[in-house]
Amino acid sequence: MAGVDQVRYEDGHFGAGRHIYTFQNLCREDHRIILGDEMTKIFLNADSSMEDVSRELRAFLDYAAGKIAG
């Protein structure tokens, strides 16, 4: 899309260093138009040091990544 910075999903993350990325369907040509089908896609990244998720989700991500024993 012209005039829009695009970030690709590579190597298990989007490169922004977040734990969580949430997407909803919207029109590529006009970002003011949302599909409204209530579809949400969530990508989780256990390899982050940002403080962008709850303590509980961080504990789960650490466990899933093998960083702490269960």
- Whether 21 and 45 have beta carbons less than 8 Å apart is answered as yes
Q: How far apart are CA 40 and CA 14, in angstroms?
A: 17
- Whether 19 and 44 have beta carbons less than 8 Å apart is answered as yes
Residue 26's pLDDT is 86
Residue 1's pLDDT is 46
Q: How far apart are CA 23 and CA 15, in angstroms?
A: 15
- Whether 46 and 65 have beta carbons less than 8 Å apart is answered as yes
Residue 28's pLDDT is 84
- What string of pLDDT tens digits covers the 70 residues of the chain? 455 566 666 666 677 788 888 888 888 889 888 888 989 888 899 888 899 999 999 999 999 999 876 5
Q: How far apart are CA 24 and CA 6, in angstroms?
A: 16
